[in-house]
A and B are shown apart, each in its own frame.
Chain A
Amino acid sequence: MSQIIDSKIREDFPILEKKVNGSRLVYLDNAATTQKPKCVVDAISDYYYNHNGNPHRGAHTLSIEATSLYDNAKKKVQNFINADSEDEIVFTKNCTESLNLLAYSLSQSFKEDDEILLCISEHHSNILPWQRISKEKNLILKYIYVNEDGTIPESEYEKINKNTKLISIAQMSNVLGTIFPVKKISQIAHEKGAIVVIDAAQSIPHMKVDVKDIDADFLVFSAHKMLGPMGIGVLYGKKHLLDNMPPFLLGGDMIEYVYENDVTFAQVPYKFEAGTQNVEGAVGLKAAIDYLEKIGLQNIEAHEKMLTEYAVEEMLKIPYIEIYGPMDLEKRGGIISFNVKDIHPHDVSTILDSYGVASRAGHHCCQPLMRYMGINSSVRISFYLYNNIEDIDIFIDSIKNVRKWLGYGS
């Protein structure tokens, strides 16, 4: 079978040479975090060896270099998602912090009985911040429920109404793999005057995301799921919306004037970036985007689609595997959640690991979805650009051994 991305790129990722339990590492936990190419690690060490200073604070050379690297990373992110200005890019710790920031800052202008709409498949990070402010401000929290195949039925869109203040939804579900029609959702939401927050944590590493095309008011994602380092995330917001929001964290570098009993805040985006920022993270994220653009997001998407089709096809041949999410693979990204009959996912994952296959077992930070689907947990495999057909073949061979280890025939 021919591959869209040549397996030669695996050489860019030193960790893929690691042996796990004596076997070739088959890394299929990319929805949790991705491996880093050498260029990302090199960019971070180059920053610390040659340019480290506190950005935006000093007149000395290193501080100026650090500032320039930090600002260049913002410019890179701006172009990557097609934002109007780098002022629309706020760096945070991760997607979770971006969502907490939004829930806190946006809700200051929300009133009792305003409605917040989420999808049942949201990650806890896109539920809990909204749940807390809903309780504090007596807002009404509503959910869109998915079909058995993990897609949203048309009738559910009727939940977007004139009382809907905000809808927050992941572009790709981290459990079902469903790619939701966010462009359509934001169109309906904007007709009703609602704010649209798109959680792109699972989508943006794997496909081209254009904030203008989908008309997102806010878009959030984490660097570590797209070849970048941990500890840096992005909040994109339309400038006029960010301008009107109060800051989330208070401290250094986010102010204009501070008096004993009063303060004026810096402009967007700096008013949302309190304290010394993660310059190494910004540098690493820029290097990661450079790498992704070199390979091409379209190629990555097509490559993962091919791997997903092949994996699903092979998994369907195994009678004791149940796959969740859309079987129309056009509606799915490179994430496959499943269960093996009679075997708990944690045992499946342990046994796969003994063959060098990294998978994820559990509720994937989506307990409301699991409860809604009527399962306790599942096993999840998820792909990225460095995975290849050989990875899938090893996974399939390994999964066929799982039941035997627990004393079941086959």
Chain B
Amino acid sequence: MDLNQIYTQLIMEHNKNTHNKRALINPTLIEHGHNPSCGDDITLNLIEKDGIIVDASFTGSGCAISQASTSIMIDLIKGKKVSEAMELAEIFIKMIKKEIDDDSELEKLEDAVAFENISNMPARVKCAVLPWHTLEEALKK
């Protein structure tokens, strides 16, 4: 296991930088996500208008992987259509399961590709996918 592949510069920056970790006024969707075994606990706040995610933020606490993954996801989905966000969630989860061969699919994930190597660390997979599962739950409603 190479920690450099896990705690990359990008992930460290998002873990420390809290620009997406804030309260949101009048969110239209609020979803709570939790990894009971390790204590990652996030609340995802979304403002959806006419099928577009116009703003998003999160609150909560957790490990560097879960916090960075949430922050990177928020940067990615802001301004996107709900259908696009759902597609990105599907691609991300497939990437973690190593079910994607097509690099053009991965490119859609932009910075979130940084978590590709997490699939080599089974104990940490659930930290990386937590925000994406939470997003899926929120958008299903």
Point out residues on A near B: beta carbons under 8 Å: 21, 343-347, 350-351, 353-354, 361-363, 370, 376-377, 405-407
Contacts and interface: CB of A to CB of B under 8 A. Distances in A.
8 contacts: A344-B40, A346-B39, A346-B62, A346-B63, A347-B7, A350-B6, A362-B39, A407-B16
Given A344-B62, A407-B12, A377 B1 contact: no
Indicate the member of B13, B67, B121, B123 with the most A CB atoms within 10 Å: B123
A346 B67 CA distance: 12
Contacts of A343: 64
Contacts of A370: 39
A32 to B, nearest CB: 12
Given A21-B1, A350-B6, A350-B124, A406 B38 contact: no
Among all A-B residue pairs, the 7 with the closest Cβ atoms: A344-B63, A377-B39, A346-B63, A407-B12, A376-B39, A346-B38, A347-B63
Interface in B29-75: 36-41, 61-65, 67
Contacts of B20: none
Nearest to A407: B12
A345 B66 CA distance: 12
B82 interface: no
Given A406-B64, A407-B12, A350 B37 contact: no
Contacts of B61: 344, 376
B40 to A, nearest CB: 7
B127 interface: yes
B15 interface: yes
Contacts of A346: 38-40, 62-63, 65, 124, 127
A351 B3 contact: yes
B121 A350 contact: yes
Contact of B65 (A347, A376, A377): A347
Given A346-B127, A362-B37, A406-B15, A353 B64 contact: no
Given A347-B64, A362-B37, A406-B15, 12 more contacts: A344-B62, A344-B67, A346-B124, A346-B127, A350-B3, A350-B6, A350-B124, A354-B3, A363-B36, A376-B39, A376-B41, A407-B16
Contact of B38 (A351, A361, A405): A361
Contacts of A363: 36, 39
B7 A406 contact: yes
Interface of B: 1, 3, 6-7, 12-13, 15-16, 36-41, 61-65, 67, 121, 123-124, 127
A351 B13 CA distance: 18
Nearest to A377: B39
Contact of A350 (B40, B67, B123): B123
B57 to A, nearest CB: 20
Contacts of B1: 21, 353-354
A167 to B, nearest CB: 28
B44 to A, nearest CB: 18
A363 B121 CA distance: 21
Contacts of B64: 343-344, 347, 406
Nearest to B123: A350
B4 to A, nearest CB: 9
A363 B61 CA distance: 14
A345 B6 contact: no
Nearest to A375: B39
A68 to B, nearest CB: 41
A370 B36 CA distance: 13
Contacts of B123: 350
Nearest to A351: B3
B7 A405 contact: yes
B15 to A, nearest CB: 7
Contacts of A361: 38
A377 B34 CA distance: 13
Contacts of B37: 362
A105 to B, nearest CB: 29
A363 B38 CA distance: 7
Contacts of B36: 363
A351 B67 CA distance: 17
Contacts of B67: 344
Contacts of A362: 37-39
Nearest to A22: B1
Given A344-B62, A346-B124, A376-B61, A405 B3 contact: yes
A346 B41 CA distance: 13
Contacts of B38: 345-346, 361-362, 377
Contacts of A344: 39-40, 61-64, 67
A343 B36 CA distance: 18
B39 A406 contact: no
Nearest to A378: B39
